[in-house]
Structure 1
Amino acid sequence: MNDLASLGRVLVVAPHPDDEVLGCGGTMARLAAEGISVHVLVATKGKPPAFDPEGVAQVRAEMLEAHKLLEVVETHEVDLPAAALDTVPAAQVNAEIGRIIEDISPDTLFLPHIGDIHGDHAIVFQASMVAARPRHNRAPARILCYETLSETNWYAPPMTPAFMPNVFIDVSETLDRKLDAFRCFQSQVRPFPEERSIEVLEALARSRGATVHVKAAEAFMNVRQIIR
């Protein structure tokens, strides 16, 4: 991969609303600006009594506003229970996520990192990888994992899979749009120095960018790439 056009049709898989913006909102904005179709799959939805229906509706509205700002082609919502994916049979999770991946037939998948502290993230990663098995020539040619503030870096990297990026996408021109998209999530934005703050989100992009001598970047782990 040496240019965005090589990503083809893109599907970003998010365990929960806002993960996709935190992990690759700048990349999504760049792709849309260059005429590349970006789909988002949101795997879970908050269920009572753990989640208040009004709060769930608010987060969904915030998500759709953010996706409109990022020019997402379509948002695909799966009705699996948030923060309770471990209570659902793996076959059901695999089937529901797999159905959408098969329908979209993406060339590139962006997934959460398997080493994230939130159990939903690991389950969504695994279900997506099941769907992406290269059993036919429509399997995604590229799978990249993104990092999610307060999830990817809060586990125990000496003992759990560490996020070690080897792909960096320049988002210097779209960082502001990413930050504006995250601002749409008024229920999720936290004051600095909490990690889910605008300041920290920008700082991470600046730091990742400096790693590869650009003004801002998003970092990814390349899980698999098939050159056809």
Structure 2
Amino acid sequence: MSEFTAMRRVAVVAPHPDDEVLGCGGTMARLASAGSEVHVVIATRGRPPRFSDGYMDRVMAEADAAHAMLGATRTHRLDLPAAELDGVPAAEVNAAVGACLDAIAPDTLFLPFVGDIHLDHQICFTAAMVWARPRSAGAPERIFAYETLSETNWAAPGTTPAFLPDSFIDISAQIERKVEAFAAFRSQAKAFPDERSPQAIRALATMRGTTVFCEAAEAFMAVRQIWRAA
């Protein structure tokens, strides 16, 4: 069995709706097409007065549409406060993320990169890693960090952790579905040359793909892989 087909129950942790599509939407589509369960955990929801309820209802509906396009099994919403996770006790964030991942019991985790400029991303990474501590045979066997346009590359490499990918997944057959899924986020998609534009998504996928001699790819940093005895 290849490493890719070993991913049978996958959880993608997204600090905010759309991070998961930007980071690994093509991989989600490829896994779903291969018969894997693909669960999305959206950690936060914007709250008034920063975000109106009407606006957030719209964003969550956009997420549902995008996930349906990608073949996601289920979307889980934790409704922690967006852009305010640093004000929530770590124990509460860890408990919310951990309870959700307990219920999913994934063999593979895709997480936001710990060096992303947005604190919500950093906190979600840490909370998921707290849950993923290998204290039993049920711990996830694979953990990967994904890159998010406008978050991962806007930090300060040399001062903050740099995203240095060592794992690539060919999404040549899924890149258009990824772009269409992100387009479902009408509230988030921007016109080129903004990073959150279809052209930028394709450009990054093309660059990551040519790194490993394929037409389009998503890049990841392997955080942990466990090769258990047969």
The alignment's TM-score, normalised by the length of structure 2, stands at: 0.98
Structure-2 separation of matches of 1:191 and 1:79? 29
Which residue identity does 2:34 align to in structure 1? E
Aligned to 1:11: 11
Aligned to 1:21: 21
Residue aligned with 2:80, SS:
strand
Which residue identity does 2:106 align to in structure 1? P
Structure-2 separation of matches of 1:178 and 1:44? 22
Which residue identity does 1:91 align to in structure 2? A
Structure-1 separation of matches of 2:80 and 2:161? 25
Structure-1 separation of matches of 2:124 and 2:57? 22
Structure-1 separation of matches of 2:207 and 2:138? 36
Structure-2 separation of matches of 1:21 and 1:90? 26
Structure-2 separation of matches of 1:170 and 1:3? 13
Q: Does 1:119 align with 2:119?
A: yes
CA contact (8 A) 2:143 2:224 kept: yes
Which residue identity does 1:128 align to in structure 2? A
Residue aligned with 1:111, SS:
strand
Aligned to 1:223: 223
Matches within 5 A, 1:179-194: 179-194=179-194
Aligned to 1:102: 102
Q: Does 1:152 align with 2:152?
A: yes
Greater Cα shift, 4-13 or 75-84: 4-13
Q: CA deviation at 1:3?
A: 4.0
Aligned to 1:176: 176
Structure-1 separation of matches of 2:175 and 2:3? 18
The superposition leaves residues 201-225 of structure 1 with CA deviations (integer Å, 9 ceiling, x where unpaired) of 0000000000000000000000000
Matches within 5 A, 1:27-38: 27-38=27-38
Give ranges in structure 2 of 5+ residues lacking alignment: none
User: What fraction of aligned residue pairs are identical, expressed as a percent?
Assistant: 59
CA contact (8 A) 2:14 2:43 kept: yes
4+ residue runs over 6 A deviation = none
CA contact (8 A) 2:8 2:35 kept: no
Indicate the RMSD between aligned Cα atoms, in angstroms.
0.9
Residue aligned with 2:130, SS:
helix
The superposition leaves residues 106-150 of structure 1 with CA deviations (integer Å, 9 ceiling, x where unpaired) of 000000000000000000000000000000111100000000000
Aligned to 1:68: 68
Give ranges in structure 1 of 5+ residues lacking alignment: none
Which residue identity does 2:200 align to in structure 1? V
Structure-1 separation of matches of 2:66 and 2:49? 26
The alignment's TM-score, normalised by the length of structure 1, stands at: 0.99
Aligned to 1:163: 163
Residue aligned with 2:6, SS:
helix
Aligned to 2:129: 129
Residue aligned with 1:6, SS:
coil
